[in-house]
A and B are shown apart, each in its own frame.
Chain A
Amino acid sequence: MTLTGQTSVKALGTDAVAAASAAVPSRRRRRSARSTGPAGTVLRYLASAVVVLAALLPLAWMTISGFKARDDVVTSPFQFFPDIWQPQNYVAILQDPAFVRALGVTFTGAILFTALSLTVNSMAAYVFARLDFAFKRTLWAIVLGTMFIPQMAILLTSYIVVTRMGMLNTLAVLVIPGATAAVHIFFIRQFYLGIPTSIEEAALLDGASRWQIFLRIFLPLSKPVFVVVGITSFLAFWNAYVWPIMTITEPDSSLTQIQQYLASFRSERRVEYGMLLAGSTLAALPVITLFLIFQRYIISGIRISGIK
């Protein structure tokens, strides 16, 4: 499980249940033609509205409150919309160099982390899917076993390990430790197991090396699975809070992560709710956008064929 944050648990869910064909968006299956009558239809749409509202209301409120005047975020009685819409909070937070720096450094870190995660995990997945080598079963059992280690069991001693390695307050401590995750290896391997062997057998006959087969045949086919693993990794890094507060300890460090920034903003500048919510909105924007762009892949990546 990754050290990078809460998303690891989600990742386990997403990945462990996913199967090979999973990540390829599939056509929706035929819906039942069972009719429920007009009353039923109204009820169903009403229930749908409740679902959408409950899921999105907190986020909508956050975004809208960012447009309120300083003293209007928390008012009695409660008010959902601002009296006057004003962009001051968004402007002010974007003019805070620490906020912009946190966004930038978190984004950079997330890209590096995602790239490292995809590289390392896909190579391992390919090896476990296709190659025959000594201790394969033992190694696979160990790799799989690490999936069941709760984060907290290794969080504390991981901190001790990285401290002893002199990694505190470096970009490396954020990017490297969580990059390899058994769930991702497992997920990519499942996908690779679903690729027919005939293509690579032909390539092997032509004298291609295993490396070439991985780079020329497997990688180009990996897009759907890479989208799912890549986004899971990106989210894990972007949303990480506990690992950064443990390892980026210098105050006002240039490596301060975005979640760290928001949490300390909340405790230090308690009254500036408008700016805090504007900052939170801006920090949530990249991940929501990313999800919306790739939602097809992610949603169809959550399949159960693997655990049926």
Chain B
Amino acid sequence: MSALTSEPAPAGRAPAVTEPPDPPAANKPRKKDNRTAFLMLAPALILLTTFVLVPLVYAWFVSFQRWSFYEPSVFVGLRNFRMVLADPTFRESIVRGLTFSAICVPVILVIAFCFATLVKTMGARMATVLKVSIYIPTVISGVIASIIFVLVYEYRQGLANYLLSFLGVADVPWLGSARTALYALTLPQIWLALGLASLIMLAGLLDIPESYYESAELEGANWFQRTVYITIPLLKNIILYLLVTTFVATIQQYELPLVMTDGGPTQSTLLPNLLIFQRFTSDLYPGYSIAAALLLFLVLGGLSAVIFRLINSEKAVDG
């Protein structure tokens, strides 16, 4: 870093900035710092270009080609995209991803909301304990979570079957059966994702001025009414934000099934990104997987961008 200090800041430049703080309202553009700016931006721009923009553009290029590492590529138009859309395996993986998200997202949001409500009523010390506890799984890797939950779901006899045996449920081959495997994966997913959603929800809840509740209480509103008429409307943006970001993260999950089940049994945990990843590592021509990834990108990237704009613009409107 110290080398950067001696970077030649043009000697004559600094005094030029010493113009009066309030220059006459002329149209003269402010002095620009092009040289310094681009020097400091260079590393970030070079890295983003090389490892984000080039791969993105390249992905679009490859998706229209019959491309492989070993042969010159041939333009095939939309063939890759048609192949993806016509492929029942891909469509099934999308349905699976939607099912998976349809379970995880509401559960995460509801628990996050309950958690936030709970924390708000607790004293400072207990609140910290709760916040730290719920966030700890978030720092655990997908691989370690997978290892833990594979053993939790062990047929004879993991923690899951043990706990269920108290309810009189016979041992279930959670990850070994195509009927249950996808549902079994929701638990580690929720466990990993809950921390962040809960703390964001809590931050939103704490941002609601206490006076709203006080006056509602004076009017005789009960907890349920306060929640429905004050909390939820005021948390609308947070909930919307969490809904979209959690959905986008959940439907893209593939590390858990990759380590826990490798997509099986009989493709029952083959989530969309796992299908793409597996096809990429096994196919000689990656056109299919890249086209599939781009289709997801259009939908999910678009969704995220829209929500980000929406929330930020509402902020501007609401002040």
Contact = CB atoms under 8 A, between A and B. Distances in A.
A120 B318 CA distance: 35
A307 B242 CA distance: 11
A149 B297 contact: yes
B162 A78 contact: yes
Contact of A161 (B50, B133, B134): B50
Interface residues of A, number: 122
B17 interface: yes
B74 interface: no
A44 B33 contact: no
Contacts of B312: 307
Q: Is the interface of A mostly helix, strand, loop or mixed?
A: helix
Contact of A73 (B38, B134, B151): B151
Contact of A6 (B30, B255, B302): B255
A78 B245 CA distance: 37
A277 B144 CA distance: 9
B51 interface: yes
Residue among B31, B44, B124, B146 with the most chain A CB within 10 A? B44
A210 interface: yes
Contacts of B47: 120, 176-177, 179-180
A209 B249 CA distance: 42
A269 interface: no
Interface stretch (A55-63, A89-97, A220-228): A55-63
B241 A288 contact: no
B1 interface: yes
A169 to B, nearest CB: 16
B172 interface: no
Contact of B315 (A158, A163, A211, A307): A307
Interface in B95-129: 114-115, 118, 120-124, 126-127, 129
Interface in B160-201: 161-162, 165, 191, 194-197, 199-200
Contact of B51 (A74, A158, A276): A158
B258 to A, nearest CB: 7
Nearest to B304: A148
Contacts of A176: 47, 51
B196 A146 contact: no
Interface of A: 1, 3, 5-6, 9-10, 12-14, 16-17, 28-32, 34, 36, 44, 47-48, 51-52, 54-59, 61-62, 65, 73-78, 80, 119-121, 123-124, 126-127, 131-134, 136, 139, 142-143, 145-163, 176-180, 182, 185, 201, 204-205, 207-212, 214-215, 235, 238-242, 246, 259, 262-263, 266, 273, 276-277, 280, 283-284, 287-288, 290-292, 295, 298-299, 302-305, 307-308
28 contacts: A16-B308, A48-B130, A52-B130, A58-B148, A61-B152, A77-B157, A120-B43, A121-B44, A148-B301, A153-B59, A153-B293, A156-B286, A157-B290, A158-B52, A178-B51, A180-B44, A180-B48, A185-B44, A207-B18, A210-B36, A242-B254, A242-B258, A277-B151, A284-B144, A299-B131, A307-B238, A307-B241, A307-B311
